[in-house]
Amino acid sequence: MGMTAILGGCGSTGSSGVTLRLVAADYGDSAANSSKKYWDRLAQEYESAHPGVKVQVSVYSWNDVDRKVKQMADAGDPPDMAQIGAYADYAAKGLLYKADDVLSIPVQADFLGQLSEAGQLRHVQYGIPFAASTRVLFYNKTLFAKANLTPPTTWAELAADAAALKARGVKYPYALPLGPEEAQAETMQWLLGGGSGYTDDIGTYTIDSPQNVETFTWLRDELVGKGLTGPVAPGRLNRADAFDAFANGEVGMLNGHPTLMQQADKKGVKFGMVPMPGRNGTPKSTMGVADWMMAFKKSGHREQIGDFLDFVYSEKNVLAFSREYDLLPVTGSASEAMDAAEQDKALRPFLSELPLAQLYPVGKTSWAQVSADVKKQIGRAVAPDGSPAAVLGQLQATATAADSAENAK
């Protein structure tokens, strides 16, 4: 795309004495690799080429960042830019610039298509993708070798492998984290594998579709009911605990994202990664997750915001952030560079999933409520006496009501 050449000429924004405020999420797990370091370095580099503009960055943990931005927006003093987990509420309230109000055409054209689409509210893009991730099936190579197993390609093979691992005393043959931390992710991966999802092709919630009920009935009967998911009930097992157990060598298989690679490597666990199986083979789409950048209109700094964001989304900077935190680039140019680079080969299994990835329905303001409801309720669907049809039906009723309220505004 020649992004560097394009951005090289954007040094003049016709501004002087402007301070841009950015609130961002922290992707690090310690002070040593805090995202504050990344943003401070980027801001310094930008300011040195743009003497009239200061970039003031505040970085908060994921536990706090969404709440901080909401407090600022509710007080009528939002930042110029926020890099957080969701954008739809702010877009629906008319607080955000449209993506094409701030980004140059080459930068906008470089985003991966399905990510740009996921950033749309009522067919207009407000959410600017910032970082992406996909999920693959991690398996413990040592445990698999001892049981003479090969990685599964269908649900039936996954259940058979899990049964063989259980017979050899593996604590969690398949770890199924449907606890309140991130149940919406594990749920979506299984729904996609069963041929459905949270919504249909036009964005209508289909949580209690026949395929989804079949999927959770299979999970209840073939995995949980046969004791193949470990000693902790799935509804009480959080993703972080499942990842810790995998890194401790106690898990045969689980659905994981790139950060699990580092965690397992540190503990010396030998692992393999394959596409998450579907009911009858590789599903037509896997789950993708994106975090978002958005630009608030309140300050009126449209031109300066746009110029800074064009810089943020240069290939060099997108690659640097993705590599720092084992994330996937959101632009085509950086994705191609990562795919070709030997240093990034560990991320290729995730990168190859991204073009077909399906994201949460983040363009719906109702999604936050639906996601919270899934986290609270979905574990009951696979309990020994659980009714997938009843639980999914209840989630569907809540989603439909939230959706109707959103559309009535």
Query: Residue 16 — pLDDT band, cuts 50, 70, 90?
Result: low
Angle at 295 between CA 198 and CA 127, to 5 degrees: 20
Mean pLDDT over 332-343 rounds to 96
Q: Is the pLDDT of residue 3 over 60?
A: no
Mean pLDDT over 353-372 rounds to 91
CA distance 321 to 1: 19
Dihedral in degrees, nearest 10, Cα atoms 156, 240, 363, 195: 0
Q: Is the pLDDT of residue 205 over 60?
A: yes
CA distance 51 to 32: 29
Q: What is the pLDDT of residue 31?
A: 84
The CATH class of the 3-133+289-359 domain is: alpha beta
23: tokens are 């609130």
- Determine the topology of domain 136-285+366-408 in CATH: D-Maltodextrin-Binding Protein; domain 2 (3.40.190)
Q: Is the pLDDT of residue 9 over 60?
A: no
The better pLDDT of the pair 3, 357 is held by: 357
The single residue listed with the structure tokens 């002087």 is 16
325: tokens are 């935190």
Q: Is the pLDDT of residue 212 over 80?
A: yes
CA atoms within 13 A on the CB side of 272: 15
> 54-112 pLDDT, tens per residue?
999 999 998 899 999 999 999 999 999 999 999 999 999 999 999 999 999 999 999 99
Under DSSP, is residue 337 helix (H, G, I), strand (E, B) or coil? helix
CA distance 309 to 99: 10
Q: Is the pLDDT of residue 138 over 80?
A: yes
The better pLDDT of the pair 259, 378 is held by: 378
> 111 and 220 in contact (C-beta within 8 Å)?
no
Query: Residue 4 — pLDDT band, cuts 50, 70, 90?
Result: very low
Q: How far is CA 286 from the centre of its chain?
A: 12
Beta carbons within 8 Å of 362's beta carbon, 6+ residues apart = 86, 87, 88, 118, 119, 127, 290, 292
Under DSSP, is residue 390 helix (H, G, I), strand (E, B) or coil? helix
Q: Is the pLDDT of residue 277 over 70?
A: yes
* Crossing angle between the packed helical segments 367-377 and 183-193, to the nearest 10 degrees: 90
Q: Which of 324, 365, 361 is nearest to 343 (CA)?
A: 324
> 25-53 pLDDT, tens per residue?
999 878 888 999 999 999 999 999 999 99
Q: How far is CA 15 from the centre of its chain?
A: 36
Mean pLDDT over 228-239 rounds to 97
CA distance 137 to 277: 8
Q: What is the pLDDT of residue 409?
A: 66
Query: Residue 8 — pLDDT band, cuts 50, 70, 90?
Result: very low
**Domain parsing of the chain, residue ranges:** 3-133+289-359, 136-285+366-408
Q: Do 3-133+289-359 and 136-285+366-408 show the same overall fold?
A: yes
pTM of the model: 0.88
Q: Which of 70, 62, 67, 71 is nearest to 34 (CA)?
A: 62
- Residues above pLDDT 70, as percent of the chain: 96
Mean pLDDT over 187-191 rounds to 97
* 171-210 as b/e: b if 16+ CB within 10 A: bbbbbbbbbbbbbbbbbbbbbbbbbbbbbeeeeebbbbbe
Task: DSSP letter for 379, please.
Answer: G
How big is the chain, counted in residues?
409
Q: Is the pLDDT of residue 366 over 70?
A: yes
Q: What is the pLDDT of residue 5?
A: 31
Q: Which of 141, 208, 159, 160 is nearest to 381 (CA)?
A: 208
The single residue listed with the structure tokens 């949460």 is 360
CB neighbours of residue 266 within 10 Å: 9
